[in-house]
Amino acid sequence: MNREAIIQGMKERVFAANLALPEAGLVKLTWGNASEINRELGVIVIKPSGVPYKTMKAADMVVTDLAGNLLAEGLNSSSDLPTHVVLYQHFEKVNAVIHTHSKHAVMWAQAGRDIPAYGTTHADTFYGAVPCTRQLTVAEVERAYEMETGKVIVETFNDRQLDPLAIPAVIVRGHGPFTWGETLAKAVDNSIVLDEVAEMAYMNEIIQPHCETIPQYLLDKHYFRKHGPGAYYGQK
Ligand SMILES: [Zn+2]
């Protein structure tokens, strides 16, 4: 396939993923963005900034190089592009990134708390608590806010020695969730699951304020039957 055809396919997938987010109830107005990277080709395709979903077309998707520089005349990229770029630079197996302000994940971000792994719904997708970053500093926000948002996510995963593919989501303190995956379809699913488990965890703590997290052996069972070399869930 030639370069143009590959980029066209990326634009169609990124467009469809961006539409899937409001459809799943994760995005209101234009509060979200999805992107995909092709490292061999050296391109990132991302949603344009502030274009209403009703009038958005696949052709409006913005194409940049791996540093986030525009490669063609067109619309401005999502203002969160620098966050996506930093995540692609540091999470080498990640090929798609999504940001939303989905309500329940944002609630945990605003509370400044990790989302605990309370059950197997969580464990099927996230191998442990979904981390909440530290607050950005004044200097970071004033210097290069979107890039620093990416850096604080990477810092959180490095400091806690987390594998971004085993926990394909984060919540940025006071802001909201970023999710990712090896494919855009997986990243969309991860965004949906994240908001579901965020809501369940919130309700759990109302029902049982001292709710225990899922035991390690059950977390292992559910995560590893779906992921990794020993996975057996689903169809071959
Ligand atoms: Zn945001």
DSSP 198-230: HHHHHHHHHH-TTPPPPPHHHHHHHHHHHSSTT
Active site residues per annotation: 124, 233
Ligand 1 centroid to residue 102 C-alpha, Å: 10
What sign has the CA pseudo-torsion 225, 226, 230, 232? positive
Per-residue pLDDT of the chain in tens (236 residues, 90 and over written 9): 899 999 999 999 999 999 999 999 999 888 899 999 999 999 999 999 989 888 999 999 999 999 999 998 889 999 999 999 999 999 999 999 999 999 999 999 999 999 999 999 999 999 999 999 999 999 999 999 999 999 999 999 999 999 999 999 999 999 999 999 999 999 999 999 999 999 999 999 999 999 999 999 999 999 998 888 878 887 76
Domains in the chain, number: 1
In a domain, 111, yes or no: yes
Nearest to 161 by CA among 118, 127, 120: 127
Ligand 1 centroid to residue 88 C-alpha, Å: 18
In a domain, 232, yes or no: no
Ligand 1 centroid to residue 24 C-alpha, Å: 17
Q: What CATH number corresponds to the domain at position 34?
A: 3.40.225.10
In a domain, 231, yes or no: no
Residues 147 and 85: their CA atoms lie apart, in Å, by 8
In a domain, 200, yes or no: yes
